[in-house]
Amino acid sequence: MVVNTVLSMMAYDYPPEKLSVYLSDDGGSNLTFYAMLEAANFSKTWLPFCKKFQVESTSPEAYFRTASELVNVQEWLSVKILIDGRDTNAVDIEGNPLPTLVYLAREKRPQYHHHFKA
């Protein structure tokens, strides 16, 4: 559900240089981070698809049924910005700029109230 929401926001009809999507993961889950890596890669195809076919519901759940090739998450643990919208190489398959996508992992610790960490 999180990946669908992120991709829906990225596909929103708004100038990508003015749009940034931030996901704050309080648990610092490797699974959530891996899902965001897949979403970043998939967005390069999904965003042009939405524009080309004027997809009303930009959630890819109906289209996104097969698993992608696994990525070694350990190589990416230090990465926070998955897509840097300021990078001229951050483009989709049609050469259009992509919006910024940032993953934030915040580990919960028992000695701190997590409601006050944001």
Q: Per the annotation, does 26 bind a ligand? A: yes
Q: How many CB atoms lie within 10 A of CB 88?
A: 7
CA-based nearest residue to 79, from 104, 98, 99, 97: 104
Q: How many CB atoms lie within 10 A of CB 40?
A: 20
- Binding positions for UDP-alpha-D-glucose: 26
Binding residues: 26
